[in-house]
Amino acid sequence: MKIQSQLSTLSADFIANYKYHLNLSEDLSSKMSQVMERPKSNSNQNKLSARERVSKVIDGNTEFLELSALAGEGLYDDIVPSGGIVTGVGMISGRACMIVANDHTVKGGTYYPITVKKHLRAQEIASQNKLPCVYLVDSGGAFLPMQDEVFPDKDDFGRIFFNQARMSAAGIPQISSVHGFCTAGGAYIPAMSDQSIIVRNQGTIFLAGPPLVKAATGEDVTAEELGGAEVHTSVSGVADHIAENDEHALFLVREIVRHMGGRQESKLNLKSPTPPAYDPDEILGVMPIDSKKFYDVREIIARIVDGSELFEFKKNYGQTLVTGFSHINGMPCGIIANNGVLFSDSAQKAAHFIEVCTQEKVPLVFLQNITGFIVGKKYEHGGIAKDGAKMVHAVANANVPKITMVVGGSFGAGNYGMCGRAYDPRYLWMWPNSRISVMGGEQAADVLVTVKQQQLARKKLSMTEKEIQEMRTPILEKYTKEGSAYYSSARLWDDGVIDPRSARKILAMSLASTLHYDWEETKFGIFRM
């Protein structure tokens, strides 16, 4: 049924909300422009930038679903735009592929800890969705001053090559194109790929570069003599194809993908896409300036889904959670959207709905704006913990694609029930107004002040109003800083901050990347009754 919008676009509230969120979107656009517009390398003006390589390798008139463009912002003394690496999903010769492109203008493409984390996240998405991996390599290997944070642990640099081996064994193609340095551990990226390309007089592959060879053996050798394109395509066999320049290499990547074997077609009931009945631009006026103020999440859904149609499930039960079936750009999905705090009935409703979607093989889209589960004596006695656990249990075990978009708050156990990062959503996106933390700053400050007061009371002491405010202020400042969408995205707690007006497009591209293989059957464990 079509959602009947109650929104008045001429109201003072709408206009104020729109201006506020438009400013947030423009701030996001400014931040994105700063990382997108990277200068070319001074050392070789013939080399393309990382994003230029991506734009030339994907099919014309298609879009690139970029991941975590704001990764690394403010993490280090150095500036590391986009974490020093560009990742995302793009169509290559008609096939969705995961693309990982080193940015050689950021410390020679070396790997900071955030670079490793971002590369691994891209491989995780590729593995989950059976996407061929295309590595556009131009890297000096690990960033040596931070080697202790890059090299030794399970999810450090070596995990990249472990993942390549596992994905290749699982039949997920691994393709490399070497456009510059490919040094030390990084040399294993092309060496462990199913097929690899190297650019003549530009690409080099070696475990140890000329300085280290000189130090270790006394041998004087140039980079080209040690590991250039001629060496690796005619002598060592490390690379399979030689390219004359960047453009030729990207053409060869497209040819490799074009000649891959067949792929499965989706078994979902796809429909012809229809636009929403309401303008997605109006989303900016739906969301209140004050995040504590209620709004009906159906107004958001109506501006995302095909025809603004939502077939609601248990509409009159557990009304603080909206669940229902819809389509986004012709692709079916089950939507789970917060419309208030989670009560026992809304948690049970979610678990039931997830069971239905996994039975019918329908992907799940979570629209997250949640302060958490209801608290208090009445609700604890009523079993909110076990009912919330049912929802968490269902989310954790659902083996259909899960895509999460944080449209407001993401706090406490509500983050878990609504498929936060720990619950393996295929993608997790945030809006600029989003907040994420264990609880809201006000609540955290109140809790810590109360604990302190109770400690003092046992000593028959108390706090003055001034002391209370002095304790609350730094807590509020900390939660304000650490709860922001940008703080989250810099650390890869999400897959990117997006403009709310592009929500439909981002969800559609995310869904499309999940549809081309059979999903595993879902098996649930024990639901506590």
Question: How far, in Å, CA of 373 to CA of 415, rounded?
Answer: 10
Backbone angles phi, psi at 85, to 5 degrees: -155, 145
Q: What is the mean pLDDT of residues 140-144?
A: 88
Q: What is the pLDDT of residue 57?
A: 98
pLDDT digits 0-9 by tens, 455-508: 989 999 899 999 999 899 999 999 999 999 999 999 999 999 999 999 999 999
Q: 3-state DSSP call for residue 324?
A: strand
Q: What is the mean pLDDT of residues 220-225?
A: 86
Question: How far, in Å, CA of 3 to CA of 346, rounded?
Answer: 20
Q: What is the pLDDT of residue 43?
A: 55
Task: Give 215 or 294, the one with higher predicted confidence.
Answer: 294
Cβ burial of 333 (10 Å; 0-12, 13-18, 19+) is buried
Answer for the pair 403, 378: CB distance below 8 angstroms, yes or no: no
Q: What is the mean pLDDT of residues 222-244?
A: 92
Is a pLDDT exceeding 90 seen at residue 523? yes
Q: What is the pLDDT of residue 432?
A: 98
* Residues in contact with 464: Cβ distance below 8 Å, sequence separation at least 6, in sequence order: none
* Residues in contact with 409: Cβ distance below 8 Å, sequence separation at least 6, in sequence order: 291, 368, 369, 370, 371, 434, 435, 436, 440
Question: How far, in Å, CA of 351 to CA of 356, rounded?
Answer: 9
Give me the percent of the chain exceeding a pLDDT of 90. Answer: 82
What rounded mean pLDDT belongs to the chain?
94
pLDDT digits 0-9 by tens, 258-301: 999 877 777 888 999 999 999 999 999 999 999 889 999 999 99
pLDDT digits 0-9 by tens, 32-88: 999 988 666 555 667 999 999 999 999 999 999 999 999 999 999 999 999 999 999
Whole-number Cα distances in Å, 178 to 43, 143, 182, 205: 17, 19, 7, 8
Question: How far, in Å, CA of 240 to CA of 230, rounded?
Answer: 11
pLDDT digits 0-9 by tens, 372-419: 998 899 999 999 999 999 999 999 999 999 999 999 999 999 999 999
- At 183, the amino acid letter reads T
Name which of 102, 76, 80 is nearest 35 in CA terms: 80
Sign of the Cα pseudo-torsion (415, 418, 423, 425, in order): negative
Q: What is the pTM of this model?
A: 0.95
Give me the percent of the chain exceeding a pLDDT of 70. Answer: 98
Cβ burial of 53 (10 Å; 0-12, 13-18, 19+) is buried
Q: What is the pLDDT of residue 185?
A: 78
- CB crowding 462-474: b at 16 or more within 10 Å, else e: eeeeeebeeebee
Q: 3-state DSSP call for residue 66?
A: strand
Name which of 164, 82, 152, 73 is nearest 115 in CA terms: 82
Question: How far, in Å, CA of 113 to CA of 111, rounded?
Answer: 6
Question: How far, in Å, CA of 481 to CA of 194, rounded?
Answer: 44
Query: Beta-carbon neighbour count of residue 143 at 10 Å?
Result: 24
| pLDDT band, very low/low/confident/very high, at 211 (cuts 50, 70, 90) | confident
When computed from its CA atoms, the radius of gyration of the chain, rounded to whole angstroms, is 25
Is a pLDDT exceeding 90 seen at residue 135? yes
Question: How far, in Å, CA of 64 to CA of 58, rounded?
Answer: 8
Q: What is the mean pLDDT of residues 239-258?
A: 97
* DSSP structure string for 156-221: STHHHHHHHHHHHHTT--EEEEEEEEEEGGGGHHHHTSSEEEEETTT-EEESS-HHHHHHHH----
Q: What is the pLDDT of residue 125?
A: 98
Q: What is the mean pLDDT of residues 299-305?
A: 98
Residue with tokens 């709310």: 500
- CB crowding 263-289: b at 16 or more within 10 Å, else e: eeeeebeeeeeeebbbebebbbbbbbe
Sign of the Cα pseudo-torsion (238, 241, 245, 250, in order): negative
- Please name each of the domains of the chain with its CATH number: 1-36+266-434+497-529 (3.90.226.10), 38-258 (3.90.226.10), 439-483 (no CATH)
Query: Beta-carbon neighbour count of residue 218 at 10 Å?
Result: 7
Answer for the pair 122, 134: CB distance below 8 angstroms, yes or no: no
Tokens representing 147 are: 């080697």
